[in-house]
Amino acid sequence: MKHLTKLLIAFLLTLVVGTTYAQDKNYPWSIGIGVNAVDFSSTGADGMGDLFAQPFNAKDNWNFVGSLSYINVKRYIADNISFGVNLSFNQIDAIAILDQNVLLEPNDLSYYSVDGAFTYSLAKLIGSKVFEPQINVGAGYYWIDNEGWASFNPGAGLNIWITEKLGVNLTSTFKYDMGSGSTINQSNIASPIEDGISHWQHQLGLVLRFGGTDTDGDGIFDKEDACPEVPGLEIFKGCPDSDGDGIEDSKDACPNTAGLAEFNGCPDTDGDGIADKDDACPTVAGLKALNGCPDADGDGVTDKDDACPNQAGPKENRGCPWPDSDNDGVLDKDDRCPNVAGTVANYGCPEITESIRQTLNDYAKTILFDTGKSSIKAESADVLKNISAIMSDYSYAKFNVEGHTDSVGSEKLNQKLSQERAQSVVDWLVSNGIDGSRLQATGYGESRPLESNNTSAGRAKNRRVEINLQK
């Protein structure tokens, strides 16, 4: 009983020290329990004998008890390497000395052992997740009856994983006694035993690995999870793909809407090659140049902004063609007379004939002014009315009203008088309904005579008002 107490204390101390290690990246800990058998048949008269003389003669050579008789705890140190502590107990009823053909039968000697061992896993080497061969090397201390000895412990084992966490373990360890190695005989197995005995110990049991952290519960341990706080997929190392489009959220420009890889995870609902997030018309196929919107008439104006979507027209007219209301070949936007047919040369307005021009000037020349003044005499009212009527008929036309004098008097005075008389005519026409923007008053003084100013007849012709069409 006192040896069992020693084993438990040693086990607990080793367990505390071992918490600085980890068994592997996913499952830091493993624990194993099962049965063990002790076999002395490898030890002969010279202290060692033949290691593999009768390794599986369990009936004659193995010592075991009919209950759980070992416990093993391991933690990981580095890649494929773990460190474990093994506690076991047994009863020794048979010690076979094969080279002497002797079977010694002591009277139920107690056996206890505590061992520490480094284990190297070969699972990655053979590429298996089910079968895990192992190589072990370590040391320990064992007691037979009331005496204890140290041992050097090479060995090998195999884990067969039934599930990801639960497996079956088979381990065989040769415990080489590091004491005197004295020969064994009937006398020296009588209590108390004075020398240690090299022997085999075989173990068969269940192993459970545990202790991995999976914060987000996605089945991927935190050490291998690139997104340990958010549930994700194994294919993305534990990172999520919220919309299930095969593109992880961190690389998905539209993480909550399933899309295409070519658009960084964003959809293209109308299939026009423009991602919905960049498509001004995401449900109708359109043109890239128009941000994904259609242009049925090909005029460069999107249908949604086109007042005439099926008839090409300029953007300036909201996608509609410019009208030509009077069908004169001049578009209304350029036609100064959009409702009256005219000529292109006259900006869509009808040409004022030469006879009309002559009539205007004939009327204009008969306008009378008070002598030396710009005031119009009353008898010229009918003439001005006739002029106004012609201008009203040609409401699109613009006119120059020009004043002229003879050479009597100073040139400066004549220039001033001609300007004032031309302005007097313009003022009368404006006050009688003619748009002032259509009229321009200009005085030429005595600079443009029609006849010689040396005769009274010539001077009379030179004192005049002319009305000409603006070009």
Interior angle at CA 207, CA 204 and CA 213, nearest 5: 170
Average of pLDDT values for 72-77?
92
CB count in 10 Å sphere of residue 229: 10
CB 36 within 8 A of CB 201: yes
Q: According to CATH, where is 2.40.160.20 located in the chain? A: 2-210
Q: Which CATH number describes the domain made up of 2-210?
A: 2.40.160.20
In this structure, which amino acid lies at residue 19?
T
Whole-number pLDDT of residue 49? 45
Q: Is the pLDDT of residue 121 over 90?
A: yes
For 43-106, give the DSSP string: --TTSS--TTSSTT-HHHHEE--SS--EEEEEEEEETTEEEEEEEEEEEE--EEEGGGTEEE--
pLDDT digits (tens, 9 = 90+) for 315-364: 888 889 889 888 988 898 888 888 888 888 888 888 888 899 899 988 98
Task: Round to whole Å and give the CA distance between 157 and 55.
Answer: 15
Average of pLDDT values for 54-66?
79
Please choose, from the candidates 308, 303, 330, the residue with its C-alpha nearest in 3D space to the C-alpha of residue 321.
308
Average of pLDDT values for 146-166?
92
Whole-number pLDDT of residue 424? 93
Phi, psi for 235 (deg, rounded to 5): -65, -25
What is the pLDDT confidence band of residue 397, given thresholds at 50, 70 and 90?
confident
CB 279 within 8 A of CB 287: no
Tokens of 338: 């959009």
Where does 250-353 have alpha helices with state H?
none
Long-range Cβ pairs for the range 1-9 (8 Å, 24+) = 3/110, 3/112, 3/143, 3/148, 4/89, 4/112, 6/112, 6/114, 7/87, 7/89, 7/112, 7/113, 7/114, 8/87
Q: Give residues with Cβ within 8 angstroms of 304, minimum separation 6.
A: 281, 293
Which of helix, strand or coil describes residue 8?
Answer: helix
Q: Please report, for residues 240, 245, 259, 272, the alpha-carbon distance to residue 262 in angstroms, rounded to integers and kept in the order given.
A: 19, 12, 9, 13
Q: According to CATH, where is 3.30.1330.60 located in the chain? A: 354-469
In this structure, which amino acid lies at residue 252?
D
Please choose, from the candidates 12, 124, 120, 131, the residue with its C-alpha nearest in 3D space to the C-alpha of residue 73.
12
Q: Is the pLDDT of residue 118 over 70?
A: yes
Which of helix, strand or coil describes residue 229?
Answer: coil
Average of pLDDT values for 60-73?
90
Tell me the pairing of strands 399-404 and 439-443: parallel
Whole-number pLDDT of residue 229? 87
Q: Give residues with Cβ within 8 angstroms of 316, minimum separation 6.
A: none
CB 424 within 8 A of CB 374: yes
Whole-number pLDDT of residue 17? 37
Whole-number pLDDT of residue 369? 87
Q: Is the pLDDT of residue 191 over 50?
A: no
Task: Round to whole Å and give the CA distance between 268 and 274.
Answer: 6
Fold of 354-469: 60s Ribosomal Protein L30; Chain: A; (3.30.1330)
